[in-house]
Amino acid sequence: MCAMRIVPSPTGEMCMPAKIVRGNDPEQDCMNFIFPIDEEWACRLYNVAVPDYMGTLDIVPHQVPGSTNNASYEVSHTLLIEKKCIFNKFFANDFHRENNCVVMTGSGFPDVNSIAFVKFMELSIGSQVQGLCDNNPFGVLLLKSYQHTKYELALHNMLKTDVGWLGWNPAFGNAFPQVHQTAGYSVTDERVLDHLLDSRNQFVLHQGQNKPKYASAARTAFRQNQMQIMRQTRGKCNLDDIPTQPLLTAVRFIFGQGRNAYEGKF
């Protein structure tokens, strides 16, 4: 593979209204450029095997242009987007700058570096990561993959992140009826939905010693209700089928309600 110049590359990408500073290395301007999510985030999260050349890492918010009192952006939450093409739309429309947030994608089901980055941001910012996915069983399954990783058990508790189901879901669709859904579930879709509704996998669980970090009875009821509606209507809505401006308006509306957007906002 090396002779053919085939090398692995990170699948995750991110942007935020901040710059990353590592000692004397050149700053990374994450507000105006997209950066890949590489193994550095996993190394720093584990606090092991951090190469000396990496040095320290600081996330420094950019100053607001034209501010008379040197005000800076406040990086206050993280938006996880399922698809890279949707992530590109959010970056191109300066969503991260306008809403003081980290915007990232794992480009579909994530690699370990993307999972580690999501956990790193949750710990650094102190608020729940919010997920934006297709309104279908596999979109929801993708959010669950950050909560239940396939990696070594010893690293499981360090990696897993309880990602919020911000949208797209039936409640989201009711609030924005101009976005149309298509009908039709496969047998595989039904099986995935059964799996998600099973409380043993913790996606809907709100009780017990191993309950997810942000779990509550209200959230459990909301998730169960939304997935039952999905089963009854058998409706699907892919993010790339939604016009850019209605999608941005919907997510801006939720983020505008406060620091910690929550499921069931509508």
Mean pLDDT of 137-152: 80
pLDDT of residue 105: 96
pLDDT of residue 47: 65
pLDDT of residue 22: 78
Categorize the per-residue pLDDT at 153 as very low, low, confident or very high, splitting at 50, 70 and 90: very low
CA distance linking residue 102 with residue 200, whole number of Å: 31
pLDDT of residue 261: 46
pTM: 0.86
CA distance linking residue 215 with residue 125, whole number of Å: 19
In the chain, how long is the greatest CA-to-CA distance?
Answer: 59
pLDDT of residue 90: 96
Q: Let me know: does 135 contact 181? Beta carbons within 8 Å.
A: yes
Categorize the per-residue pLDDT at 191 as very low, low, confident or very high, splitting at 50, 70 and 90: very high
60-63 CB contacts, 8 Å cutoff, 24+ apart: 60/18, 60/19, 60/20, 60/21, 61/17, 61/18, 62/17, 62/18, 62/19, 62/31
pLDDT tens figures, 239-263: 888 888 888 988 887 776 544 445 6
pLDDT tens figures, 68-79: 566 677 788 899
Phi, psi of 24 (to 5 degrees): -95, 5
CA distance linking residue 104 with residue 91, whole number of Å: 9
Categorize the per-residue pLDDT at 106 as very low, low, confident or very high, splitting at 50, 70 and 90: very high
CA distance linking residue 234 with residue 22, whole number of Å: 49
Mean pLDDT of 198-207: 77
Q: CB neighbours (10 Å) of residue 26?
A: 8
pLDDT of residue 259: 41
User: For all residues of the chain together, what is the average pLDDT?
Assistant: 80
Q: Under DSSP, is residue 113 helix (H, G, I), strand (E, B) or coil? A: helix
**pLDDT of 149 above 50:** yes
Q: Mean pLDDT lowest for which of 101-115, 207-221, 222-236?
A: 207-221
Q: Let me know: does 163 contact 143? Beta carbons within 8 Å.
A: yes
CA distance linking residue 226 with residue 221, whole number of Å: 9
pLDDT of residue 87: 96
Q: Please, is 254 exposed, middle or buried when counting C-beta atoms within 10 Å of its C-beta (0-12, 13-18, 19+)?
A: buried
**pLDDT of 151 above 70:** no
CA distances from 227 to 125, 140, 176, 190, 235 (A): 29, 9, 18, 11, 11
Q: Let me know: does 149 contact 115? Beta carbons within 8 Å.
A: yes
Q: At 156, list the tokens.
A: 């499981």
Q: Let me know: does 70 contact 63? Beta carbons within 8 Å.
A: yes
**pLDDT of 156 above 90:** no
Phi, psi of 204 (to 5 degrees): -110, 0
pLDDT tens figures, 165-190: 887 888 777 766 666 667 778 889 99
CA distance linking residue 222 with residue 263, whole number of Å: 7
- β-strand pairing of 12-15 with 35-37: antiparallel
